Amino acid sequence: MPTTTGMKGGGYYDANSKEQRSALETFLPWLETAIAELPSPAAFQESWNVLDIGSSEGGNAIYAMNRLITALRRHSDLPVWVLFDDLPTNDFNQMFLNLFPQGGSAFSAPDIFSAAIGGSAFGRLVPPRSLHLATTFNAIGFFETRPVARLPHFILAMQPNPHAPREGVAVTESELKPFQDQAHQDLCHFYAARAEELVSGGKLLVQVFGRNESWSTGYGICDVLSDALLDFVEAEMLPRSFYEAFVFPAYYRSVEELIAPLQEGTELAAAFRVEKAEVREVPVPFNDALEQSGDQSAWAHSYTSFLRAFTEPVLQAALPVDLPQENTIKKIYQRVERLLEDHPERYEFHFISIAALLTRV
C-alpha cells in the first residue's frame, strides 16, 4: 500500500508548487546538456521515449519535458513519446487538462505524443530497454511503504529542527534506523526498475528534497505542522494517540545517501555510471516575495499553501474517522498559517535539493 495517495488535486498542487519548480530548474540543465551524448534510438523504435516519474497534476512535469524536447530537437527530428507517471490515485483529470489546454497540445514541437501511467515509482513502469531519458523531481523522498515503526514524539523520520526546539519533541537514533533502512531499500527498488527500463547509454536525472550538513528541507515545514497538531492535542481537539501514531511518510536524504545504492560493491554498481551528484540550496519564491514586499501575512499564506499541497492528502487519510475531517483539516491549516505569521523566525524554510545524473551502462 503506498504511503501517500498523491498531492492535493483540483489544480491546487500546480498552483502552489513554484518552490518545487525552482528545485528542478536548478538541475534540469544537466540533462539538457547530456542529451547530446544519447545513442540514437534503435531502428525498431523510431522515436525518443521519455518518462517522468511522480508527475502529479503535470504543471511542473510538462514544463520540464518541453525543455527536454527542445534539447532533443537540436539533435533529431524523430517523434517523441512523453510518458507521465504517478500513483493511480493521482488527479489524472487535471494532468490531461494540462496536457491538452483548450483542446490543443501543451507541446509546441511537432510529432510529440503523450500518455499517462498509473504506477509506483519503485516498480517497473514500461517495457525493458525502452527508455532513452527518465526523470523524477521531488517525488522519491516519499516512502514506498511505511516501516512498521513508531515515532511517538515527532511526525517525521529525522532529528527535530535544533533551531526550533519544542519540549517533548524528540527522535532517537534507534527510532530512526527502520526509516533509514526503508529509504535505502526504496532507492534500491527505484534504481533497479530504471536499470531494466533504460537503454544502454540512456540518462536518468534524479532530483529530490534533502538535506546538507547544516539544514534539512524538512525544517520549518514539519516543525509548524507538528506544532499545529500538538496545539490541537493540548486543546483536546485531537487525541494524543493520533499524534503518537502519525508519521509523515517522507525521508530527507543526504546526497551521499542518494547515490549509496550505486557505489562500488553494491548490486547496482554495474548498472549506472554516476556523472554528477550535488546538493544545493535553491531559491524559495515565497521567501523571495517576502524579501521584496515585507508582507508577513502574504508570506504565511503562501507558505501554508505550499505545505498544504503535499501534506493534506496524507493528513486527511490519517485523521480519526469519527472527526469532521474537512472542518478539522481546515482548522489545522488555519493554525499553521497563524503560527507562521506570529513566529516566522521559528519556521524558517530552506529548500535543500539533492540530485544525481546517471548513465545506464
The identity of residue 182, as a single letter, is Q
Residue 259: what are its φ and ψ, rounded to 5°? -105, 0
Query: Are 220 and 349 spatial neighbours (Cβ–Cβ below 8 Å)?
Result: yes
Identify the pLDDT of residue 83: 98
Give the CATH number of the domain where residue 166 resides: 3.40.50.150
E strand map for 120-271 = 131-137, 198-209
Q: Which residues of the chain have pLDDT under 70?
A: 1-4, 324-326
Strands 351-360 and 272-282: antiparallel
The total domain count for the chain is 1
Domain assignment of residue 158, yes or no: yes
* 23 inside domain: yes
pLDDT for residue 43: 85
Structural contact between residues 275 and 38, judged by C-beta atoms closer than 8 angstroms: no
Whole-number pLDDT of residue 6: 86
Q: What is the pLDDT of residue 7?
A: 95
Strands 131-137 and 351-360: unpaired
- Distance separating alpha carbons of residues 295 and 301, to the nearest angstrom: 10
pLDDT at residue 92, rounded to an integer: 97
How far apart CA 221 and CA 347 sit, in angstroms, is 7
Query: DSSP states of 235-249 as a string?
Result: TTSS-HHHHHH----
CA distances from 229 to 82, 92, 155, 199, 319 (A): 41, 30, 9, 47, 11
What is the predicted pLDDT for the residue at 132? 98
Q: Is 64 exposed, middle or buried (0-12, 13-18, 19+ CB in 10 A)?
A: buried
- From the CB of residue 93, how many other CB atoms can be counted at a distance below 10 Å? 12
- In DSSP notation, 9-60 reads TTTHHHHT-HHHHHHHHHHHHHHHHHGGGPPPPPTTT-SEEEEEES-TTSHH
Kindly state the cell numbers that stand for 135: 526523470
Q: Which residues contact 92 (CB under 8 A, 6 or more apart)?
A: 86, 116, 118
Q: Judge whether 88 lies within some domain.
A: yes
pLDDT value of position 45: 87
99-152, pLDDT tens digit by residue? 999 989 999 899 999 999 999 999 999 999 999 999 999 999 999 998 889 999
Residues sharing a CB contact under 8 Å with residue 207, sequence separation 6 or more, in sequence order: 23, 24, 26, 27, 135, 136, 137, 138, 353, 354, 355
Instruction: Assess if residue 109 is contained within a domain.
Output: yes
| Residue 215 belongs to some domain of the structure | yes
Could you list the residue range(s) of the whole structural domain that residue 164 is in? 12-220+247-294+349-360
Does 258 map to a domain?
A: yes
Residue 72 in domain? yes
Cell 531519458 belongs to 133
Dihedral sign computed on CA atoms, order 97, 98, 99, 102: positive
E-strand ranges in the chain read 48-53, 80-86, 112-118, 131-137, 198-209, 272-282, 351-360
pLDDT by residue (tens digit) across 172-212? 999 999 999 999 999 999 999 999 999 999 999 999 999 99
311 within a domain of the structure (yes/no): no
